[in-house]
Structure 1
Amino acid sequence: MRSFFVIYLFITLSGCSSYGSIENERLQYNTDVTELYSFGGNFQKREAGEYTVVVAMSGGGTRAAALSYGVLKGLKETQINLDNSDDTLLEEVDIMSAVSGGSFTAAYYGLYGDKIFTDFEKDFLYNDVGSDLFWRILNPRRWFSSSGRTEETMAYYQNQLFNNATFADFDPLNSPLVIINATDLSQGVRFSFTQEYFNLLCADISSYPIASAVTASSAVPIMFNPVVLENHSGCGNQALFNLNSQDETNHFTVSLIEGLNNYSNKNDKKYVHLVDGGLADNLGLLAIYDIMNLSDKRYVNRIRSKVKPHLIAISIDASASPTSSMDHSTKEPSLSETIGFMTDVQVHRLNEVSKALYLSELKKLETKRNVTTYFVNINLNNTDDPEFKKYLNNIPTDLELEAEQVDILIAEGVKQLKNHPEIARFLNNIDSK
């Protein structure tokens, strides 16, 4: 009942507030953009080692954040005994691509590192974030203020989680490149918070608040107004993307290129309105695929010339298929149920297509680049116990879960990661060298 009440009030009050101030600053002319927070720049700085580790964290509210956190704990507990080192698999992660609920975990780890294991549980996972936002946003004193729902959420995340940090505070030398993904509402394509995308807007990502990116990634339409970026002009030719050649066999990449090409029309596309990243890529896998395939050849060739012999891709899929009473009754489903089921159908279809596309890319790497690849699929259905599977899938997509639910999700993430046959195969391969 409260879900409907919240939706009703959000819709009712949507006309009472305006968007907040634009936060993406103009990129200065002739800036060396490869030194900013970019995919290519990160790979050039982290080129040493025998393996590339990529982690993709899906959307799904605190359910996704907790499952992803459990996987990070599992990676932390997995030692790599190569050259008599005591490194952990977590220390070897090069990229974290995250969407919506997963972006909280990825951004927190990217900013604070191992501090996540002492502070994240109390700061977010076991904190009543949903209630805090509920009362903050619906406070009558804020109804007619110039600050909208999304701006109040940004301010909360700034204070509660990210301490006013910007992308300049990420340390690409000692932590993974964290790619936070949102959806361009008018174009229907993914927008990733890296300098590659900000270049299309003639903007500098360094000064952009991490909390604003996470808010954009998790801004469910209707519930929250979009996060807005300005499409600046006058920065010169700073493109890090090659948007002229298209892979006609990949519909997703073609659609992305068409959408991103519209950013060059500064008169018609003055602003970008960003909402929940799950609408375009709920797993975060396509973000990695597309950035690699679209990035300018100037540094992609350097990256590919130094391909590491092992690549581990870990997909954390927290999407759920909750039990429904709809099929047992003629009763009309509620508004929140209808929205939920419509979203779930599209998300599950997109997830399967994303996985298939990414797996095909891994196969290309094996045949063309002589790379041994490993795909670790973590999800809520990786259990033989039907009752436990049902329990996991009925944990709601919310920002406030029961402590027991969080405990179980964390434990499940740890267990699935450490017991996954692909992790065992990887460890066996490097130990046998």
Structure 2
Amino acid sequence: MTKPDSRVGSWCRVVGLAMLLLLASCSAVRPWQNQPMGSVTSRKTVKQDAITSDERSMLMFVSLSGGGARASAFGYGVLDALRQTRVMWQGRDISLLDELDVISGVSGGSITAAYFAAFGAETFPGFEHAFLRRNFQDGLISHAFKPDNLYDLTSPWFGRSNLLERRLEQLFQGKTFGDLTEQPGRPRLLVTATDLSLGSSFEFTWRQFALICSDLDSVPLSFAVAASSAVPIALSPLTLKNHNGDCPKVPNLKTSVTDDFRVRMLRQYQRSYLDARARPYIHLVDGGLADNLGLRSLLDRSQADGGLRSSVRQTGGGKIARLVIVAVNAEREPGVVIDSSDKVPSIAQVLDTLLFGAGSRATAETLGLLSDTVQAWRRELGQEAVDGKDPFAPDAQIHLVNVNLRDVPELTERRTLLQVPTAFSISPGEVDQLVAAGRKVLLQSPQFQKLLRSLSEIRSQIQARSASF
């Protein structure tokens, strides 16, 4: 009679052999692929991306940096603080979050940004239950070891980031960019990845997708966020097809010669997409490699467009009184300062320093460029519009609010939070601390307090005018 334990062992060997035979035959599965631009979608392009000022007296842009679940939680805290901040605007008592026009996200920040763009008010506290307080990372690993997923990974067209995309598909409930346009009152979503070949930002916008003659509406949010979060080595690049070989309308990139290096580089990158023979496919990785704040392309495009006014749709109404930019930065410091030792840095230390040390320097440059650009915009608004059409009110103001994890006031707490790992999951206690820190840093920001005083002044002016009648 066969012993039970020997029978179990036999079954294990059979199952193991079946798994090996299964994996020995390569899968031919192909993941989702972007669709070409049709005759209808070809008319959207830049107009679809334009920030409309129709009947808007405040334009608000919020960018959420990369940094895994640490950035997701910190950015969520900032959004929640904006939601709880009540102001009187246009005679209505509203929360500042109601005035949000564009939300941008990179890597971990793109998860929060996309969730809010998709679900709006349900984000509070829905996002906590759906992502922040779930062990998303362990779930992803378990998902990867399922037999059908292991088999799919043998396909030359299917990579680890496609498994991440499948998990995110559940989080975003299958929503696409087209679904977002059908929800009035929601902010426009901007997700940034990195073009692996160019090393430059690749934004999921109509303007960018026009360059590869593709339809943004059909792109799943899960694909964009997975691409933005695809950390090299740990995750694989995600791929888009360049449909420009057979495009009904090729974008016009002919511009006058400029002495601005940033504009020349931007045009050079853009033109590379128009040659589908040379670049039939575009491979995307983590957006933080090119721009961890999701702001650089916005600033470069404004420069290429000819300034702030040209970047905003011209309505001639002269209605925008406040332009608000909230830049959220949850970058952490390198885990080990390699210059403190004469020992040869390990591979892990080198990768950590490259990702977080060099990334921090690039972020510092972007923040400096943002500050300089805002100053240039203020000077621009101080001058009369050349064509006489001005979407901004004569007394319009620009408010830049930087919300940095490094600005957490308590030293011990700050050091602790800056060392929270960049991963898809963090502990419940770390979630609590980071969400609270996001709220605190925003509300205590001198720049944010200045914005609130500015809005109070408008309210006082309106009340004074009403009293005079």
TM-score class normalised by the smaller sequence: 0.7 to 0.9
Q: Work out whether 1:406 is the aligned partner of 2:431.
A: yes
Q: Deviations over 1:281-328 (max 9, x none)?
A: 100111322344446999857438557221111111010114527566
Residue in 2 that maps onto 1:165: 175
Which residue of the other structure, out of 179, 194, 217, is the alignment partner of 1:206?
A: 217
Tell me the distance in 2 between the aligned counterparts of 1:69 and 1:194: 23
Q: Deviations over 1:93-146 (max 9, x none)?
A: 111111000000000000000101131101111111111112222446533433
Tell me the distance in 1 between the aligned counterparts of 2:257 and 2:288: 24
Residue in 2 that maps onto 1:137: 144
> Which amino acid in the other structure matches residue 284 of structure 1?
G
Q: Work out whether 1:224 is the aligned partner of 2:235.
A: yes
Q: Equivalences for 1:234-249 in 2 at 5 Å?
A: 234-239=246-251, 242=253, 244-245=255-256, 248-249=259-260
Residue in 2 that maps onto 1:417: 442
Residue in 1 that maps onto 2:363: 351
> Which amino acid in the other structure matches residue 228 of structure 2?
S
On the 8 A contact 1:19/1:148 being kept in 2, the answer is no
Residue in 2 that maps onto 1:389: 414
> Which amino acid in the other structure matches residue 167 of structure 2?
Y
Deviation at 1:412, TM superposition (A): 0.6
Residue in 2 that maps onto 1:79: 86
Q: Deviations over 1:245-290 (max 9, x none)?
A: 5654344x43332122111111111010011001111001113223
Deviation at 1:348, TM superposition (A): 0.8
Tell me the distance in 2 between the aligned counterparts of 1:246 and 1:397: 42
Highest relative contact order (Cα 8 Å, sep 6+), 1 or 2? Answer: 1
On the 8 A contact 1:80/1:86 being kept in 2, the answer is yes
Tell me the distance in 1 between the aligned counterparts of 2:230 and 2:438: 25
Residue in 2 that maps onto 1:379: 404
Q: Work out whether 1:179 is the aligned partner of 2:190.
A: yes
Distance 1:362 1:327, change over 3 A: closer
Residue in 2 that maps onto 1:280: 290
Residue in 2 that maps onto 1:34: 44
> Which amino acid in the other structure matches residue 264 of structure 2?
V
| Percent of pairs with identical residues | 31
On the 8 A contact 1:58/1:101 being kept in 2, the answer is yes
Q: Work out whether 1:261 is the aligned partner of 2:271.
A: yes
Q: Say which SS state the counterpart of residue 376 (structure 1) adopts.
A: strand
Tell me the distance in 2 between the aligned counterparts of 1:357 and 1:243: 26
On the 8 A contact 1:246/1:257 being kept in 2, the answer is no
Q: Say which SS state the counterpart of residue 191 (structure 2) adopts.
A: strand
Question: How many correspondences in the alignment?
Answer: 414
TM-score (norm 1): 0.88
Deviation at 1:22, TM superposition (A): 4.8
Tell me the distance in 2 between the aligned counterparts of 1:294 and 1:17: 45
Q: Deviations over 1:177-201 (max 9, x none)?
A: 1100001101111110011001001
> Which amino acid in the other structure matches residue 249 of structure 2?
N
Deviation at 1:55, TM superposition (A): 0.5
Unaligned residue ranges in structure 1 (runs of 5+): 1-12
TM-score (norm 2): 0.81
> Which amino acid in the other structure matches residue 239 of structure 2?
V
RMSD of Structure 2 on Structure 1 (CA): 2.7
Tell me the distance in 1 between the aligned counterparts of 2:366 and 2:240: 27
Unaligned residue ranges in structure 2 (runs of 5+): 1-22, 383-395, 459-469
